Structure 1
């Protein structure tokens, strides 16, 4: 397991990629895979939506608060997972410039 502090220092987009890895890992049980997939999907809605991503997020402040809450849920989830479920031999990068740009402004 990674320590909470290590995970908390990661950007939201990196946490989302780790959630994706857990969701796709053959070593993850069905509950882990489902929860990881839900967290990754929430991230996608938050980052890529051009309108309010989720109901109740009407202002930039609402979006930022939601992003922080999502990040904390991801950190808590990943801290409870085995490192082998989401760490790969090569570093993860998000090549999509829209994702990098959007993640830089939301949910840090």
Structure 2
């Protein structure tokens, strides 16, 4: 079992449920998708490089590096560090090359 890579300093007051790779997960409502996903236990790595196959995960957390991209509500290559969570959001980790 893995441990979360990030945790909030105090317990959040309100959460929303998002679907991560088909699994419902409660996350703080005022977080970005990247911050919320770093809080939960999940499979690692986040995704792999299409070229080298090396593991990738959020790095800069400000939208510059594109290492945090995921599919959100059927839209590929969304920068999760810039996307706020919302109830019912469907998040698919990994790129198409990870699912082959």
Please indicate, yes or no, whether the TM-score normalized by the shorter chain is above 0.5.
no
Greater per-residue strand proportion: 2
- Kindly indicate whether structure 1 or structure 2 has the higher relative contact order, using CA contacts under 8 Å at least 6 residues apart: 1
Question: Which protein shows a greater Rg?
Answer: 1
When normalised by structure 2's length, the TM-score is 0.24
When normalised by structure 1's length, the TM-score is 0.23
